[in-house]
Amino acid sequence: MLGKRLSLVILVGALAGAVSSAEENAAIRLLQEENQLLRQRLDKLEAELGQLKKHLTTASLSQEKLDRLHQLADSKKKPVMAGLELELYGYVKLDGAYDDSRVNPGNFARWVENESILNDDSQFSLTANQTRLGLNITGPQVGAVTTSGKVEIDFYGGGASENKSNPMLRHAYAVFAWPEKRFAVLAGQTSDIISPLFMPTVNYSVGWWQGNVGYRRPQLRLTQSFAFSDSTELKLELGPTRTITDSTFVTGSVDSGADAAVPTIQARSSLRFPVGGSRSATIGVSGHWGQEDQHVTNTAGIITGHEHVDTWSVNLDFQLPITKWLLIQGEFFYGENLFAYLGGIGQKGDITTRGAWAAATFTPRASWQFNVGGGFDDPDDDDLTGKKDNDRTFNWVVFANANYTLTANLTLSLELMYLRTEYLAAKAGEAVREQLAVTYKF
């Protein structure tokens, strides 16, 4: 019995060895065949390369033609976008607000409707329209010139309903700069040169119609800076901008800004200077002048002449960092016909108006920021065009907000705002606005 078992073991081992040997032989033959194919391909490639070298040697191409061929080859190595650096940025923002009286328009607050008929008419709003998308573009430096650009939109462009909002163009411009000369040219649409600061509110309108003027419009801006030291700089900005009126003061559909045939000129001069440590303060003086060409019509709607209406302003802005964690800033303006600059509490016409705002920003920790402030817009009552009971004569606001950065991308904001709007004869409107915002930045 033991002998039979031993014979069986020897037989199985012999069979396994035979199978293993057969497999190894097959693998070796396969490798030999593949090696032979590779040798044949290599011989073919060497023969073709030799023919190509012979052809290039005998070809009568001038050095100029060869250089041109190299240029064409280099130009096809990279796509056009390869020379640009693109940075996508933006944020998703949800705003929810409760107002104990009706504010205009609702998703954000410009002024409070008069309460002659509807008193304490509370409302609630919830919107994602402030969600913003942007693209920063940096081009290659050519000699002493650097190039860059920006395109940015949000979704306050209107729409059929609240959940079908349209995009709105905010910024679209290119910048050509000569850093060594401290000179730059901006071409496109961006914020006005005048009154460049923004009231630090959670409310979308950042103080417009409440003491803050200046919006965005197409322009060609020239900027020249003069550095007296690392912390002291004088900046001069000047440029023609598009005169925008939205509609005429009188009957007719002609764009009175374009019909004036001259652009509006804006200018600003600012000085940055040290105030202690590494902190620098900035004071700026700015202004604008433009003209609108109004078509005067008779009762039949026939144009009978022209009426020129000026738009102008003088403005002051300042930023003063008291400490590393406390910043004071604000603006003052005085001007005429400022409807397109979001002054005059949104009323059209040859209206003289004045206003101001100021705010303090506290940043005790990197994750916390607090803002408190207020502003007002005060048109001249005698200039109000309609002389109607519901003409707005005074609009002011005070606010406080807290912003907590939960992560590097996520911020939670809470704002409490009090607004009061006075009217020529109608009952003033007063509202307390409570707003919560969730912002996810990228």
pLDDT tens per residue, range 22-81: 555 666 676 777 777 777 777 777 777 777 666 655 455 566 766 665 665 565 555 556
Complete domains list, the chain, with CATH: 20-75 (no CATH), 80-441 (2.40.160.10)
Return d(Cα 238, Cα 222) in angstroms, integer: 5
The stretch 185-208 carries a mean pLDDT of: 98
pLDDT tens per residue, range 273-317: 999 888 999 999 999 999 988 777 777 777 777 788 899 999 999
**Type of residue at 83:** G
State the number of CA atoms in the 13 A half-sphere of 342 facing the CB.
22
The count of residues in the chain is: 442
Return d(Cα 208, Cα 104) in angstroms, integer: 12
Answer whether residue 272 shows pLDDT above 80: yes
Burial class (CB in 10 A: 0-12, 13-18, 19+), 206: middle
The stretch 379-391 carries a mean pLDDT of: 83
The stretch 313-337 carries a mean pLDDT of: 97
pLDDT tens per residue, range 395-436: 999 999 999 999 999 999 999 999 999 999 999 999 999 999
pLDDT number for residue 82: 63
Token look-up 């004569």 returns 393
Per DSSP, the residues of 335-353 read EE--GGGT-GGG--SS-EE
3-state secondary structure of 341: helix
Return d(Cα 300, Cα 284) in angstroms, integer: 48
pLDDT number for residue 189: 98
More confident residue, 47 or 12: 47
CA angle 239, 211, 125 (to 5 degrees): 110
pLDDT tens per residue, range 331-362: 999 999 999 999 999 998 889 999 999 999 99
Report the predicted TM-score, pTM, of the whole model to 2 decimal places.
0.79
Contacts of 372 (CB under 8 A, 6+ apart): 359, 360, 399, 400, 401
* 379, 351 Cβ separation under 8 angstroms: yes
